[in-house]
Structure 1
């Protein structure tokens, strides 16, 4: 496959083990660096790395604050756990952020933390949230995407009686600024989740690390699109790659592999603590060097 000619690059700052001022500094700087087009947080309620009792911020609240402090970057959560919030409430939260940002939201969502990640799993019991099996989570994700899109676009109240979601008199007002609604990014790699991607996603994101597996999963998205008569080219392929400040050559190599495999939307995950002028370093050392 030919390398992507016009990829987009973004950064991700995990809002754990770090202060608000540090994240704000990085986002404000990135907002001034044209090579960086988007910025992301994640959605966890307790740390999944470092001190398990360390500080962590709630993602959507922080995203709203950063939306108000930036002007250009597209922004979102990579990705929202659909297990944390009822979908109608999530639609309202996301609409608010889209309006606060002036229409810059990319709506990231996924089925929720996988059961094999104990540090992620514990946050459900700690916050009184149910944790259903994977099949339930994926079915809930599909219904959530349907409901959220309807709340963003329909002009009259409606009822929804799904297997997982029940709504009576549901209505979204105001609507998001973006029309018909913010782009929907779905993150995940399991086969059932990729079927939801084919049906609902504008962007599909997968964590990097095994490019061959990412390519196989991308081919599955193509297959599932064909099954529902959707053009797979209408789904942007996104990949999240870890950044090494000490070994930028490794990161540059992974970027080249991802672009060569057809992933045109690249999210560079920045470890904390963040160096001074880290956004400029990303542009100079990881993005602009591709020429």
Structure 2
């Protein structure tokens, strides 16, 4: 299977018009197949009091302004929104985009991130422990899929999620539902991915660790009786405008390790023509490259 390349524009310390400019350009650049935002309510880099745009609202606006790109949030914090509400939001974006949503979700910010707690406390949101975060993610995936596919109202009485008369209408454009991408590297999250994910994403960096985590996901899939190859392996790689060769080296390592879905993180401010530059300098050298099974 040929590698698939996309971009990620973190919507912090930037204006809407800047993100829109990059996405419109990417939409006209065939080498770029997908585009992503992140899900934070306060900056996690740069000026701590700087601007951040809410991810799903912005995604819907960008979906309406593009025609070809697959679109998503890398990844939604399951801690921010109740899953039934999130299912409705995602359905709306899939409809607005004409069926181009890749649904990214994860447990939320790491407890050890220096700014992890700030945005939760500032918005009156609870920050539960890891066991709660992982358990609620598994139940959220179950509930969201049912809201996208069930043809009758249902009740759900889980340890973390409880719904009465839950029903989703309209349904997403994509059937049976938008692809579910689960992001994360912990073993507990990988177990959830083995059961629920169509795609799995990991932040780049140590490619050896990423490959080891991918092998662990293979093992969990096998234990569940699932074909490991049914889960697309995705990786987020930071882009250097000044040292494109470093980024190309990272891309080559990721492809060799079996990560055929590559998300290129574009740092702000975005140079003029950045999408075309990324296609020429970072993607074209790998055009036609087949990811290793």
Fold shared by both chains (TM-score > 0.5): yes
Query: C-alpha separation between the residues in 1 aligned to 2:279 and 2:136?
Result: 38
Secondary structure in 2 aligned to 1:238? strand
Q: Which residue of 1 aligns with 2:85?
A: 89
Q: Which residue of 2 aligns with 1:69?
A: 65
Paired residues for 1:101-140 under 5 Å:
101-140=97-136
Q: How many residues align?
A: 287
Q: Which residue of 1 aligns with 2:261?
A: 265
Query: C-alpha separation between the residues in 1 aligned to 2:227 and 2:158?
Result: 27
Query: C-alpha separation between the residues in 1 aligned to 2:105 and 2:264?
Result: 18
Q: Which residue of 2 aligns with 1:187?
A: 183
Paired residues for 1:147-226 under 5 Å:
147-226=143-222
Secondary structure in 1 aligned to 2:53? coil
CA contact (8 A) 1:52 1:119 kept: no
Query: C-alpha separation between the residues in 1 aligned to 2:56 and 2:208?
Result: 32
Q: Which residue of 1 aligns with 2:281?
A: 285
Is the aligned partner of 1:18 residue 2:20?
A: no
Query: C-alpha separation between the residues in 2 aligned to 1:283 and 1:141?
Result: 35
Query: C-alpha separation between the residues in 1 aligned to 2:163 and 2:128?
Result: 20
Secondary structure in 1 aligned to 2:115? helix
Secondary structure in 2 aligned to 1:66? helix
Secondary structure in 2 aligned to 1:251? helix
Is the aligned partner of 1:146 residue 2:142?
A: yes
The superposition leaves residues 71-108 of structure 1 with CA deviations (integer Å, 9 ceiling, x where unpaired) of 00000000000000000000000000000000000000
Query: C-alpha separation between the residues in 1 aligned to 2:223 and 2:163?
Result: 29
Query: C-alpha separation between the residues in 2 aligned to 1:62 and 1:119?
Result: 22
TM (norm. structure 1) is 0.98
When the two chains are superposed, the root-mean-square deviation of aligned CA atoms in Å is 0.6
Query: C-alpha separation between the residues in 1 aligned to 2:219 and 2:149?
Result: 28
How far apart are 1:120 and its partner, in Å?
Answer: 2.6
CA contact (8 A) 1:41 1:59 kept: yes
Query: C-alpha separation between the residues in 1 aligned to 2:119 and 2:279?
Result: 35
Secondary structure in 2 aligned to 1:143? helix
Q: Which residue of 2 aligns with 1:54?
A: 50
Determine which of 242, 245, 248 is the counterpart of 1:246.
Answer: 242
Query: C-alpha separation between the residues in 2 aligned to 1:207 and 1:152?
Result: 28
Of 114-123 and 175-184, deviating more is 114-123
Query: C-alpha separation between the residues in 1 aligned to 2:286 and 2:68?
Result: 23
Structure 1 gap ranges (5+): none
How far apart are 1:119 and its partner, in Å?
Answer: 1.3
The superposition leaves residues 148-189 of structure 1 with CA deviations (integer Å, 9 ceiling, x where unpaired) of 000000000000000000000000000000000000000000
Secondary structure in 2 aligned to 1:206? strand
Q: Which residue of 2 aligns with 1:38?
A: 34
Query: C-alpha separation between the residues in 2 aligned to 1:145 and 1:75?
Result: 19
Structure 2 gap ranges (5+): 288-293
Query: C-alpha separation between the residues in 1 aligned to 2:170 and 2:116?
Result: 33
Secondary structure in 2 aligned to 1:65? helix
Secondary structure in 2 aligned to 1:61? helix
